[in-house]
Structure 1
Amino acid sequence: METETLYIRNLHEKVRLESKTISKRLAHLWIAYINKKFFLNILALKTSLNQIFKPYGPIKSLTCARHLRLRGQAFVVFENVESAKKALKDVNGFPLFSKPMDVQFSKKRSFCFIKDQDQLNTMKRKRDEIRIEKEDIAKKKKLEKQEKLLLNSAQQQQFQQQIQQFQSETDKGDPMQLSMQNQSSNITDQFLPPNKILFVQNLPKDTESQILSELFQQFPSFKEVRMVSGRGDIAFVEYDDEASSEVAKNTLNGYRLTDDKIIKVTFAKK
């Protein structure tokens, strides 16, 4: 749809005005914002865009996006569609500060052309509702990311505790006692509660994580393999959910990885 408003993107985000281009009228602004590069970027862009587009007709509004996510974009509003059409035809692709501008008609008309006050208020209210909704979604995603980081940190601690427990159990006791413990462990492992983390034992000493990844990632929802530093014969494998880890456990427990090594796969202890 052709409108009086042009949408411009691919604008240079790191533009600064030289001091000699600042008029006396803006001298106080230059002093006040001398250390704020973003202000200088916006000022430089608006000045340059105004000089480029004003030959095509009176400009009602010229806005450069200030939000970090929208930087490099701008809107130019002319008084009529004909001016906008001519400007788009000539300026689209024009290199501004060594970057070709991408100029298109805006999908929506500017508020400048809406004379009905009720309609204008409705549109602004809808715009604000959409903005608030997007902000809420962004906050929710940020919170979910923080919760995931906390969960990963807790899982890391769980891994370390399991490793330390395993090492302490195998580093003490005589051979007969260890043999009895292993037999008891085999029985106990069968009744461990489901866990999305699997504990893999009896690996060859030189087993690499890539080999285990190729083996376990054939099952859905595979996440990662974690080798235990200093213990090449054990590893932990994580899935996104318990159902997927159970399928992998039931399939690969007792799998012959090499001629002399049959791996043991159980749920990790919680």
Structure 2
Amino acid sequence: MCSCLYLRNLPRRPQSRDHYIRNLLKCINHSNPFALNHELPLPQHETIGNDELKLLDEPNGVVDISISKTLTSQCFITFINESSAQSFQEKGLTVHGRNIDIQVAKRDSLLGLSIKNPSLLQRVLKSRRQRLDKEKWVNKRRSRRLRSKLRRKGLSEDEISKQLATQLSKPKREVKRQTDDDNTSRPTNAKVVTTENPPNKVLLVQGLPQDCQLSELEPIFKNDGFVEVRLVAIRKVAFVEYDSISHATAQLNSMGELYEFKGHRISIGFAK
């Protein structure tokens, strides 16, 4: 069990974080000094520091109350240790006549880690820094590519700056979804017309079944001049290479442009 609890079904909080924490402390402990005296400043804990740890509520071992900007009816409470968290959960909490749902958080808060395991905290912080550095690098690359694309379209620098600000402010999932919507007219399984391609020593095989295996294709195409089969399963295509155009042409003529394979009619033609 970790020393952090997740509370939900709380009343919608006021805009002031300070006011919200004091109100919640009053429900947790009616004699809490921070709840009774609003002039008393709340402890400002840092994740790493040499200052003495000050509790928000000593009888219950409450170290910190963290709230989200968007999840207005939820919060996380960090306790001095696991036993304090377990005791608080067993006791329960009622706020303005409402029974609050209390669950053990999936992981400790950074402040909780700094109390229990400083070395683990350092590893967590290092991982976060690496993730943030990677996100910065990805955003920089996205910005560079998008700027180049917009310049090719002939947009002015002012228009490019506006487009960059709009696109980079969107979450990556939303940008990907928009890109997918733009590409709906180009399905990945669409067959390429090969009838106009000039003779080539590589044949393009299309319309393969999803479960097609390389070992199933090789015996069919393994004739004179055969070199290899390159299977692209996700696109349901394969490229069959021969050592000469004449051998590839002979194989195409023997099999035809349409061929029955595992209950599917696959198309065969010259690759570009």
Q: TM-score, normalised by structure 2?
A: 0.35
Decide which structure has greater helix share: 1
Q: TM-score, normalised by structure 1?
A: 0.36
